């Protein structure tokens, strides 16, 4: 295994992305957003960063392009295998830089790193139940893990070389600090991947019962069951709502910020135990309160009475609109600056990098 740089030198880090979609500021997936934000922060600190990701990825450092994004579900498994093979071939070719650390955010590349010349840190972004095809009983010796929240960590206590928690963060400088007065905000907002477990249909039901305008913003991924869900559960509810609901397809980053800044509240209706919530952090950065189901890590992310309110079921969401309206936008933003920054996230990861080799690891 490589010896790592002296304390006054910078690291050469390889980040490995989820293999199916490009990494950019407009990424819809949480893992891609976290990688984009972390790599941007590390590069700004002078670390030497390379990202292995799909063609057309937009990153701050160097890109090792691993091929085109998958365009259909039947390409996903093949695409993942292609990225793994291309990356391993490059790393073993003698052409690749001599990396000090590999940070795997793909969820699966770590399984192929037996004999790697650099330590591997694997960030687990999902609940344990989502890793159905992963054998955690066979972990290569050089691989360590981290989680993104304390509730998630409780599901992975059996893993070897667990470094702990590095909470997700957002690039606060990219969110407007000029906050929109609450009285000018006319709609509720839901943002996310449009699939059953995220519960867009529940948000439509909540808004309908409360007689509130709602904007649904997000992407329907090219999975057949996602598309069937959208047709079966979302489209009929949008039609029922008429002018009281609107769908924004694939909003870019700037569109997302405008939607967040002008919303009365953001609804989070996930039917699974979320391990984090970037959109809850982004809403807070825009001074917009969150109304979320009390599940997974959401009680850890949402500060009750400061950035939002938590409820036990969808029925309670309607009655939470009034207390959410009392939340002060400037306090919401201040909390985001203190707790959700990409700087805090990068600091946590640099401590983990040091933990992998405490005598020689640089961290600045």
Q: What is the rounded CA–CA span in Å between residue 230 and residue 237?
A: 10
| Location of structure tokens 């970037």 | 278
- How much is the average pLDDT of 79-95? 91
Instruction: Please tell me the predicted confidence (pLDDT) of residue 79.
Output: 84
Two structure tokens written together for 64: 């090792």
**Beta pairing class for 214-219 and 162-165:** unpaired
* Strongest mean pLDDT among 20-29, 68-77, 226-235, 352-361: 226-235
φ/ψ of 190, rounded to 5, equals -130, 130
In 3D space, the residue among 25, 86, 83 whose CA is nearest the CA of residue 59 turns out to be 25
- What is the per-residue pLDDT across 114-163, written as a single tens digit (0 to 9) for each? 988 899 999 999 999 999 989 999 999 999 999 999 999 999 999 999 99
Separation of alpha carbons 146 and 167, rounded Å: 10
For residue 128, what pLDDT is reported?
95
For 343, residues 6+ apart whose C-beta sits below 8 A from its C-beta are 41, 169
Identify the pLDDT of residue 364: 36
Domains of the chain listed by start with CATH number: 12-169+341-356 (3.40.50.2000), 172-339 (3.40.50.2000)
| Mean pLDDT across 281-294 | 97
Q: Is the pLDDT of residue 112 over 80?
A: yes
| pLDDT band for position 3 (cuts 50, 70, 90) | very low
Residue 360 banded pLDDT, cuts 50, 70, 90: very low
Question: What is the four-CA torsion angle of 245, 250, 253, 257, rounded to 10 degrees?
Answer: 10
Q: What does the pLDDT read at residue 73?
A: 66
Q: What is the mean pLDDT of residues 289-294?
A: 97
Instruction: Please write the tens of the pLDDT for every residue from 196-225.
Output: 999 999 999 999 999 999 999 998 987 888
pTM (two decimals): 0.92
pLDDT of residue 50: 98
Mean pLDDT across 351-360: 73
- Tokens 């139940």 correspond to 129
- Residue 236's region, left for phi above 0, alpha for psi from -120 to 50, else beta, is alpha
Strand stretches in 176-213, DSSP E: 187-193
Return the pLDDT at 357.
Answer: 64
- Name 145's bridge partners: 122, 162
């Amino acid at each position: 295994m490589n010896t790592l740089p002296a304390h006054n030198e910078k690291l050469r880090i390889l980040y490995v992305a989820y293999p199916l979609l490009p990494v950019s500021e407009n990424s819809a997936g949480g893992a891609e957003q976290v990688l984009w934000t972390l790599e941007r922060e590390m590069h700004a600190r002078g670390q030497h960063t390379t990202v292995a990701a799909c063609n057309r990825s937009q990153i701050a450092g160097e890109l090792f392009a691993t091929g085109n994004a998958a365009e259909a579900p039947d390409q996903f498994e093949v695409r993942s295998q292609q990225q793994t093979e291309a990356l391993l071939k490059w790393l073993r070719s003698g052409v690749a830089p001599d990396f000090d650390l590999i940070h795997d955010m793909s969820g699966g590349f770590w399984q192929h790193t037996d004999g790697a010349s650099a330590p591997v840190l694997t960030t687990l972004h999902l609940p344990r139940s989502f890793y159905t095809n992963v054998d955690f009983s066979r972990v290569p010796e050089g691989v360590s893990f981290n989680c993104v929240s304390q509730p998630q960590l409780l599901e992975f206590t059996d893993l070897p070389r667990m470094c702990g928690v590095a909470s997700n963060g957002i690039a606060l400088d990219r969110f407007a600090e000029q906050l929109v007065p609450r009285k000018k905000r006319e709609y509720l907002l839901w943002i996310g991947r449009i699939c059953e477990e995220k519960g867009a249909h529940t948000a439509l039901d909540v808004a309908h019962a409360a007689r509130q305008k709602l904007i649904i913003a997000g992407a329907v991924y090219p999975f057949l069951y996602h598309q069937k869900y959208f047709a079966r559960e979302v489209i009929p509810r949008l039609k029922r709502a008429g002018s009281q609901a609107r769908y924004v397809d694939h909003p870019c980053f700037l569109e997302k910020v405008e939607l967040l800044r002008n919303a009365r509240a953001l609804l989070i209706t996930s039917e699974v135990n979320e391990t984090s919530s970037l959109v809850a952090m982004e809403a807070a950065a825009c001074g917009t309160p969150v109304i979320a189901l009390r599940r997974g890590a959401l009680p850890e992310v949402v500060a009750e009475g400061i950035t939002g309110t938590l409820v036990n079921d969808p029925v309670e969401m309607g009655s939470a609109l009034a207390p959410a309206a009392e939340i002060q936008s400037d306090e919401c933003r201040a909390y985001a600056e203190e707790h959700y920054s990409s700087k805090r996230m990068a600091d946590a990861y640099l401590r983990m990098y040091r933990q992998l080799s405490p005598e020689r690891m640089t961290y600045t």
